[in-house]
A and B are shown apart, each in its own frame.
Chain A
């Protein structure tokens, strides 16, 4: 019995060592995911926080607004960008990365505070970046309280020095009110608005990579690929045919997920639900093409699973499928530009949460398809060279 166990274990080790891809991926996969997650979520657990741009429009130009701006300037993770036009501030929030909120200090704010009223700063917000927004709003609220306390303290001193309290009014409180930066109807975001497309894309990637790669290995192992090649059918045609079928499956998969998300979790599908097909087609194509790459570099069936899952999960994580991109450090955000997942999530967020028109998804589509074409070219070249 012990002999059988020992000999079997030895042979298993031999088999494992003979397939370095599996060995490498078994060890490498967790390292990749831990690295991505660690860097992305590091700021949540006390690491260095990411910095944000903060557009500010000061229409007040009074003591309160100046005090507020000074306080904001002293915040270590904020870079203020002073603007004259509220529309410009709104546009920056809706379009620019790292700008989850803009502040408009309305004319007469200082006078209103001095008069004991409770004026409100206008915060143009990007509803997609709810997590970052909450942190920033907490800080802005704290600064508002500090500025008004200073004003109140100064007024109190003044009252005491005049010895005539009945003649003066204590300053009021400064607060803020949110306004969505995007045009159109105001949207209320729930967690599923982020998670349905995010995890939908993740599983699309995994399914596509494993599906494409394994079916190609099956065709090889079954010998059917050889028989089809004899018919004179071009290998490229056979591969593209397989990819096309999988892309259709991917589109159906995402459509089903959105339908379930809408019916069960009340996710918003934006003003043009049919436009969701645009990023869906893009990511299905890119994922299928990447599946071809995985198939072409995997040495055997067993290599497909660790390689495909590692690539899928890393790409999903870096591309913002699991958490907002703003969580990630700068170098990872740069890397994310080369991920189809990044552009796809941007398009989904624009269409669903920011209620943008379908045209907003065209640039991300072009980027996703462009990356997909690179994958496709690499996969085809590698596969055809293997066939030769």
Chain B
């Protein structure tokens, strides 16, 4: 492992209980500079507890975390400055202006007056809030508040950024902006943990997926690997005229009808690979079935998520 690949943030066998409820069970993970890891899991899976422990806000009952190879207890202040937190709920002073908010957190993170001044200007430009720097936060739209929340978390350029659902409740435009800023931020060499319930966001900006459930890490790896772990296969959804005889796809290896709706004229077929689409369509034509429309669906993170964590509502289990 090269020096550049050395983890900047590690959790080693951490466990945490709240009373008799085990929230985290011997969870280990590592994060390297420049990568964005999606932290996924159903409600109550342990995401917030994991983030709180990584942010040094909570102490694990067992196990330890290392920031840049060192336990945070050794240098709470110095290592704390390596972390940036963007919590799900806004962490801002509503009566202060955008600039005052950023300035306060910059100074509290140890930046000198000159550095704080320069970084405030820069980060507000980065998130597109320069023109509203003097306006009070409570007058901002939801999207602007989220951008300011992000700005306050990255003003000191932390090598590790912890994001807890940073796009909740914002419109598509604001979400685009936030995701773009995060990707750019990681591209400067910082490591990012991105906790979210939006699978498409994770697919779009994350390099790696950490899927936890019931306090355990149940899947980890690149996007493709986790999707494969979910066992999902490509699907084609058909709308047709005519009649599909039984056993019509027996000659095509791996093709089978799933999720039969019972509705004449609609069918969903599962395949081994998308390369079989042409064979399926050709077979239908030979059977004198007229395909009016079809949709292709590649297996994605949502499929894997459901496959690996199940359909049960987790909130009911808490």
Number of B positions contacting A (CB below 8 A): 28
- B92 CB within 8 Å of chain A: yes
Q: Which residues of A contact B153 (CB under 8 A)?
A: 227
| Chain A residue at smallest Cβ distance from B85 | A230
Whether the pair B87, A233 counts as a contact (CB closer than 8 A) is no
Whether the pair B81, A232 counts as a contact (CB closer than 8 A) is yes
Residues A233 and B108 in contact in the complex (CB < 8 Å), given A226-B57, A227-B85, A227-B152: yes
Q: Which residues of A contact B76 (CB under 8 A)?
A: 232, 234
Q: Which residues of B contact A232 (CB under 8 A)?
A: 56, 72, 76-81
Residues A227 and B105 in contact in the complex (CB < 8 Å), given A222-B90, A222-B92: yes
- A224 CB within 8 Å of chain B: yes
Q: In the complex, what distance in Å separates the CA atom of A223 from the CA atom of B91? A: 4
- B94 CB within 8 Å of chain A: yes
How many contacts between A and B, using CB within 8 angstroms? 56
| Chain B residue at smallest Cβ distance from A238 | B108
Residues A230 and B80 in contact in the complex (CB < 8 Å), given A222-B92, A222-B93, A224-B92: yes
8 Å CB contact of B87 from A227, A231, A234, A388: A227
8 Å CB contact of B91 from A222, A233, A234, A388: A222
Q: In the complex, what distance in Å separates the CA atom of A223 from the CA atom of B59? A: 19
- B195 CB within 8 Å of chain A: no
Whether the pair B57, A231 counts as a contact (CB closer than 8 A) is no
Q: Can you list 17 pairs linking A and B with CB atoms under 8 Å apart?
A: A222-B90, A222-B94, A223-B89, A223-B91, A224-B91, A227-B87, A227-B91, A227-B152, A229-B57, A230-B162, A231-B80, A231-B105, A231-B108, A231-B110, A232-B72, A233-B77, A233-B108
- A228 CB within 8 Å of chain B: yes
Residues A388 and B85 in contact in the complex (CB < 8 Å), given A222-B90, A233-B108: no
**Other 4 A-B pairs with CB < 8 A, given A230-B55, A231-B105, A233-B80:** A222-B91, A224-B93, A231-B83, A231-B108
- B190 CB within 8 Å of chain A: no
A211-233 Cβ-contact flags toward B at 8 Å (1 or 0): 00000000000111011111111
Q: Which residues of A contact B83 (CB under 8 A)?
A: 230-231
Q: Which residues of B contact A224 (CB under 8 A)?
A: 91-93
Chain A nearest Cβ from B139, distance in angstroms: 16
- B109 CB within 8 Å of chain A: yes
Interface residues on A, range: 10 to 19
Q: In the complex, what distance in Å separates the CA atom of A233 from the CA atom of B79? A: 11
Chain A nearest Cβ from B119, distance in angstroms: 14
Q: Which residues of B contact A233 (CB under 8 A)?
A: 77, 80, 108
Q: In the complex, what distance in Å separates the CA atom of A314 from the CA atom of B94? A: 34
Q: In the complex, what distance in Å separates the CA atom of A44 from the CA atom of B59? A: 59
Q: Which residues of B contact A234 (CB under 8 A)?
A: 76-77
Q: Which residues of B contact A230 (CB under 8 A)?
A: 55-57, 80, 83-85, 162
Interface centre among A223, A224, A230, A233 (most CB of B within 10 A): A230
Q: In the complex, what distance in Å separates the CA atom of A234 from the CA atom of B110? A: 13
| Chain A residue at smallest Cβ distance from B110 | A231
Q: Which residues of A contact B77 (CB under 8 A)?
A: 232-234
B53-65 Cβ-contact flags toward A at 8 Å (1 or 0): 0011101000000
Residues A223 and B80 in contact in the complex (CB < 8 Å), given A231-B108, A231-B109: no
| Chain A residue at smallest Cβ distance from B105 | A227
Chain A nearest Cβ from B308, distance in angstroms: 30
Q: In the complex, what distance in Å separates the CA atom of A224 from the CA atom of B78? A: 19
Whether the pair B59, A388 counts as a contact (CB closer than 8 A) is yes
Chain B nearest Cβ from A7, distance in angstroms: 26
Q: In the complex, what distance in Å separates the CA atom of A233 from the CA atom of B105? A: 11
Q: In the complex, what distance in Å separates the CA atom of A223 from the CA atom of B89? A: 7
| Chain A residue at smallest Cβ distance from B75 | A232
Chain B nearest Cβ from A214, distance in angstroms: 13
Q: In the complex, what distance in Å separates the CA atom of A222 from the CA atom of B149? A: 11
Residues A228 and B92 in contact in the complex (CB < 8 Å), given A233-B77, A233-B80: no
Q: Which residues of A contact B87 (CB under 8 A)?
A: 223, 226-227
Q: In the complex, what distance in Å separates the CA atom of A290 from the CA atom of B135? A: 35
